Structure 1
Amino acid sequence: MNRDLAAALFVFISSFIIFSANIGGLSIYSLDEAKNAECAREMLERADLIVPTFNYQLRTDKPPLHYYFMMISYSIFGVNEFSARFFSSLFGAFTVLITFLISHRYLGYRVAFFSFIALISSLHFSIQFHMAVPDPFLIFWINAALFSFLIGFKEDKKLFIYLFYIFMGLGVLTKGPVAVVLPSGIILLYLLFTGNTSIKTLKKLRIPSGLIVTALVSLPWYIAVYIKTDGKWVYDFIFKHNIHRFSEPMEGHGGIFIVTLLFIFFGMLPFSVFIPQTLKLAWKNRKESIILLSLIIVGVYTIFFSISGTKLPNYTVPLYPALAILTGYFLDNIFRFSNRSLYISLSFYTIIGLILTAGLFIGIRNEPEISDLSYLSLYFLLLPLSGILAIFMLRKSRIIPVLTVSAFSVFLGFLFFYYLFPKIDKRNPVYQMMPLIEKDRDIRYYKNFNPAFVFYLKKEIKPLKKDEIQGFLHSDEKVYILTRKRYLNELKGIKDLVILKQVKDLFERKISVLITNRKD
């Protein structure tokens, strides 16, 4: 086995091990995971590749490509937490691999290795690829498209130019127009910065035939779903989940522009503490094509989602590979920087680690269902501890402190997925209530309920109106109703109503309630 293949296999396998850590041992509980995982299950159940549904009602949030991967996984491994997340973890490993390969191609082994280190050290990056949502796939498609463009354009390779268009098409099938709009803007800026705006240059991009390829990959499904839903899916997706989401905050996820910067900073810890040095060095060496492209990717994503009405931590994750390349370039040139500069960054990291630990302690302590688990936050003291060790090691070496901080961060990631979060996960209302529900019994909901119940019950949960509840509970058979605590006052005086359990949804204000018609 040659060196290049061995290195690529090491990067891929180790990344997959990190990103798949305990993916089968954690509940499908968050709203996004529950709806995506259940939507794929329902499509598989109906053998329907066109119309996405959740709780057997049309779901217009996302296109279907990630559902297809989940359906394949369900067919192989069965419908469970592991299979819902398997391809997310796999695409995470692919994302790290292509970042390593493009770095190696243009900047050498050392930069490629440090880029790899920067990505696997990010707990937030790892969390993204632990989730049964479309983002892991979009992150890969966008970066694969941009890296393919660079190779195709710089080395005049037609195959990679067409791969650029294919990957954009797959991105459109994963999350919509954003997979074309942002990469196209990035490429335009790259061409402007490099002065490649001549007709001859544009011909190299094969824009007409390339856009046809993108359309052939993505449009057939959009046309099919338009026909099968009389245009409703396309209308809701474009106007509600794209235009409205960009122009206004949705579901309370708004904030000023600095929120996006904070997402990036905390998301790329530990090595985001070197962002000032990283960007300074990158700007000085922007004539290097991969450095310039990475700077543009980071800049475009940061600005775009800073002005977006809706702000979420996952929106900027597609820039992480580019930022990792720039970070890898900095770490390879860390000897150029003074000890004072590095001491300041590592000291800041130590302080941030202490603040983060204190914040987690307070946050968990103030969450009634898990307040007794606040001690778990103390494990995050590993972060400032690694910062302190790195400061002392800096006197003798520049590389060992980097590897120390990375090793502690990766170790904390394994602790988080195998030990810390499972303890919290067991306190969620779905985990607490499912053992109380006989799955073959009739179950309905009143006004609102946690969507994860649909995934675990594997059947439709139909709504009840207030005037239907009395008759439903009067059944000779045991039946159940899911609702929220805030609606209980509306149900006072209804006969046969027994509150079986109430559990607060973790880190939310909602309280899930399970109602039945008999205690036995």
Structure 2
Amino acid sequence: MSNFELIDLNLKLFNLINSHNHPFLDMVFYLITYLGSGLIIIPIVIVLYKINKEKILPVVFSYLISGLAVQVMKYFWSVPRPAALFDHIHIVGETLRTASFPSGHTATALALFYVLSQGKNIRLKTLFLILALSVGYSRVYVGAHFPLDILVGGIVGYLSGYISMKYNKFFDNYKKELFVVFFIPAVLFFYRLDALPFYIVDEARNAEAAREMLARSDFLVPTYNDELRTDKPPLHYWIFILGYKLLGVNELSPRVGSAVIGLAIVLLVYLFTVKVLNRKIALISASLLPTCLYSFLIFRMAVPDPYLVFFSTLALFSFYLGIVNNAYKYILIFYISIGLAVLTKGPVGFILPFGVAFTFIFFRGMLTPSHSDIKGVPQLLLSAVKSLKVFLTYRHIIGFLIAGAIAIPWYVIVSIKTGGEFASGFFLHHNIGRFLTSFEGPEGPFFVPLFLLLGFFPWSFFTIQVLFSSYKEKKEPLMLFLFLWVILHLIFYSISATKLPQYLIPVYPALSILTAKYFFQGMPCKRVSAAFISIFGLSAIIALSILGNKYAGELMPWLAFLGLPFLFGGIFSLFFNKYIHQTIAGSTVIFFLLLSGWLMPMSEKYFIPKKIAHVIEEQTQKSGVEPINTVYSYRYYDPAFEFYIRKKIIRIKEPSSLPELPEGALLISTENKLNGLINFKYRQLFKVRDLLRKEQVLVVKIEGE
């Protein structure tokens, strides 16, 4: 059968099924189609917990495998839905237009059918098969899929069920690791990763810079709005470009790398902790890291910070293992990681990891019993000399050379290509300048500990006790190393004039291990901690009710619901404080899923740049032989304009410049800014309310006299 014959048969079968409809069947198949939704796994797991616990893991993993396979296929084969191709089809429920191939509902249904039907009960097998096939049929009936989508989705689901059953023993042996190290972080980092537009300034600029590099096929010189961008080195841009090549230019592509690297960091923490402590502490630490606030946010964003955290963590873990075990291979990994960290975010990628390494060697020497008879300044000098000697051995000198060979060439090349402009902007302005002068963020050293506590929420309820506890154990090399890792970052950024919350994310792997060890040793005052969490949950509900009603009533009227997981979790922990760690983790996961699955997607419809980009695209298509390459903005600007509009944006600050704009040019501004201007004629093309800035945003076309 040729491709044309297959397509023709696919369309004929769709029309045959979809056209034979009835109001009663609409209701029946609308309900049946939900048997293939992700929510169906919840009641199945609850029932299996009561009657057949052995099938819980295969059910969960068949669902995960099929879901992952379907999403990958949807991204690579972006097939439109029937509603996008035909106007007069029968649709029941939501009208879907994109990502038709293959059917995720059918894949889920067949995956679950395969696992649940394993047994000798023929009637039960028949029932599950009928239900699975009914789900596939319903997806065509409701107008959501073509028959070919159903066929391939069914094959994917069946194979997923087969794999989960075949490797059930492996899943059972490593179920805790798979759940804690892979499943929870994967859900938190990947779930609806593309649901939120580029609201954050850094995300928009980083994503656009990578897009422009790809469009120019210039992978050395970063630009933003066709102007040199000296903010960051290139490593994250290169990963974003890879995402664009694989998944297309969209919000998902530059974020996927951050999510993947987040998973890798959780795995690193687990493997390191298993090696230096034990499996139980490793599992706890791996559960803490992805469930703190900034991990959830940063590992879902198109920013360089996840890559800095990964290379810094890999470097420091490797250094510790290399020193303690006298293993040169780890020292090499330390320097390779530092080189890549410098390519990720500049000098800080060297200064902080190397600073932690040096201070660890220094204080380890200070605490060595053989030096107990030497006190004061001589002891300091002796320890400093011994520390320097460690790093002046040929092994470390070779390591320095390797790190330099990785990091330096790009800086040299880009500086030559830009006539020294990049070197000046990056090193003098964005590094030395930011350290000596406050560019953004609050001023004052006390904000840095607050940022640490905020970012490590909810585990920051225990951070002060954890740091005191680890300081008491400073004679133990691991505790000293992790304690210095945290403290050195706090000191460095307290001294720095520019202070931002994300600067402290590299300490969270160390803090997760310290907190996990604290929990493992027996957390004191569990009821007090549970009471604090309950009070926090109640306070959050009250605060979000007030703020939501005052500032975001039009956007998110039920904002206060976000506090419920912590209120209920805290109350539960008061009575069952043995499970306080698990309860806090569960409450946090629910809170984060509410954010990513409900709050963030809801806010997209109020995102102005996408709407403006659509209007400008329509005007570009109407312009005919004279394409619109430039768009102007007057006293209204969003850094995401460049990414979504994909044209050069020229910002106009003075009203006297407006009459000089060419006839037919497109201008973005607000109603208040344009009202009352004389000698300036325009035709309004689009008007939308910016609910956050409380302004009417206009897109206008300049007209002649």
User: If the length of structure 1 is used for normalisation, what is the TM-score?
Assistant: 0.90
Native 8 Å contact 1:499 1:513 kept in 2: no
| Identity within the alignment, % | 34
Native 8 Å contact 1:29 1:430 kept in 2: no
Structure 1 vs Structure 2 CA RMSD = 2.6
CA shift digits 1:384-417 (9 cap, x unpaired): 22111111112xxx2x221011111112111110
2:599 maps to: 420
Quick check: 1:496 aligned with 2:656? no
Q: What is the rounded CA distance, in whole Å, between the counterparts of 2:240 and 2:550 in structure 1?
A: 36
Match of 1:268 among 451, 456, 468: 456
- Do the aligned partners of residues 170 and 361 (structure 1) sit closer, same or farther apart at CA in structure 2, a change above 3 Å counting? farther
- Which has the higher mean CA deviation after the structures are superposed, 416-425 or 494-503? 494-503
1:289 maps to: 477
SS of match in other structure, 2:219:
coil
SS of match in other structure, 1:517:
strand
Letter paired with 2:317: F
Native 8 Å contact 1:153 1:204 kept in 2: no
- Please state how far the C-alpha of 1:304 moved relative to its aligned partner: 1.7
Quick check: 1:78 aligned with 2:242? no
- Please state how far the C-alpha of 1:439 moved relative to its aligned partner: 5.0
1:313 maps to: 501
1:430 maps to: 609
Native 8 Å contact 1:439 1:457 kept in 2: no
- Do the aligned partners of residues 207 and 489 (structure 1) sit closer, same or farther apart at CA in structure 2, a change above 3 Å counting? farther
User: If the length of structure 2 is used for normalisation, what is the TM-score?
Assistant: 0.67
Q: What is the rounded CA distance, in whole Å, between the counterparts of 2:267 and 2:173 in structure 1?
A: 12
Quick check: 1:376 aligned with 2:564? no
Q: What is the rounded CA distance, in whole Å, between the counterparts of 1:37 and 1:183 in structure 2?
A: 27
Length, aligned pairs only: 504
Q: What is the rounded CA distance, in whole Å, between the counterparts of 2:678 and 2:423 in structure 1?
A: 42
Match of 1:206 among 380, 391, 395: 395
SS of match in other structure, 2:632:
strand
Native 8 Å contact 2:316 2:353 kept in 1: yes
Native 8 Å contact 2:270 2:283 kept in 1: yes
Instruction: Give the greater-gyration-radius structure (CA).
Output: 2
2:268 maps to: 98
Match of 2:222 among 30, 38, 52: 52
- Do the aligned partners of residues 216 and 362 (structure 1) sit closer, same or farther apart at CA in structure 2, a change above 3 Å counting? farther
CA shift digits 1:200-259 (9 cap, x unpaired): 6445683321111111111111001100111111111112211221222213x1232222
- Which has the higher mean CA deviation after the structures are superposed, 440-449 or 175-184? 440-449
Using CA pairs under 8 Å that are at least 6 residues apart, name the structure with larger relative contact order, 1 or 2: 1
Quick check: 1:325 aligned with 2:517? no
Native 8 Å contact 1:120 1:410 kept in 2: no
Native 8 Å contact 1:273 1:346 kept in 2: no
Letter paired with 2:499: K
1:136 maps to: 306
1:149 maps to: 319
Letter paired with 1:105: K
- Please state how far the C-alpha of 1:474 moved relative to its aligned partner: 3.4
Superposed, 1:33-432 pairs within 5 Å as 33-195=203-365, 197=386, 201-202=390-391, 206-251=395-440, 253-334=441-522, 337=524, 341-367=525-551, 370-394=553-577, 398=578, 400-432=579-611
Letter paired with 1:481: L
Letter paired with 1:224: I
- Please state how far the C-alpha of 1:66 moved relative to its aligned partner: 0.2
SS of match in other structure, 2:606:
coil
- Please state how far the C-alpha of 1:126 moved relative to its aligned partner: 0.8
- Please state how far the C-alpha of 1:283 moved relative to its aligned partner: 2.2
- Please state how far the C-alpha of 1:165 moved relative to its aligned partner: 0.9
- Do the aligned partners of residues 27 and 517 (structure 1) sit closer, same or farther apart at CA in structure 2, a change above 3 Å counting? same
Q: What is the rounded CA distance, in whole Å, between the counterparts of 1:342 and 1:3 in structure 2?
A: 31
- Which has the higher mean CA deviation after the structures are superposed, 181-190 or 371-380? 371-380
**Gap runs ≥5 in structure 1:** none
Native 8 Å contact 2:667 2:701 kept in 1: no
Letter paired with 2:187: I
SS of match in other structure, 1:513:
strand
Q: What is the rounded CA distance, in whole Å, between the counterparts of 2:467 and 2:175 in structure 1?
A: 31
Q: What is the rounded CA distance, in whole Å, between the counterparts of 1:375 and 1:261 in structure 2?
A: 31
Letter paired with 1:119: L
Q: What is the rounded CA distance, in whole Å, between the counterparts of 1:363 and 1:176 in structure 2?
A: 39
Letter paired with 1:344: V
- Please state how far the C-alpha of 1:501 moved relative to its aligned partner: 2.5
- Do the aligned partners of residues 200 and 7 (structure 1) sit closer, same or farther apart at CA in structure 2, a change above 3 Å counting? farther
**Gap runs ≥5 in structure 2:** 1-169, 366-382, 621-627
Native 8 Å contact 2:331 2:396 kept in 1: no
- Do the aligned partners of residues 392 and 107 (structure 1) sit closer, same or farther apart at CA in structure 2, a change above 3 Å counting? same
Segments of 4+ moved more than 6 angstroms: 2-7
Native 8 Å contact 1:473 1:496 kept in 2: no
- Please state how far the C-alpha of 1:467 moved relative to its aligned partner: 5.4
Match of 2:645 among 434, 442, 457: 457
Q: What is the rounded CA distance, in whole Å, between the counterparts of 1:112 and 1:486 in structure 2?
A: 57
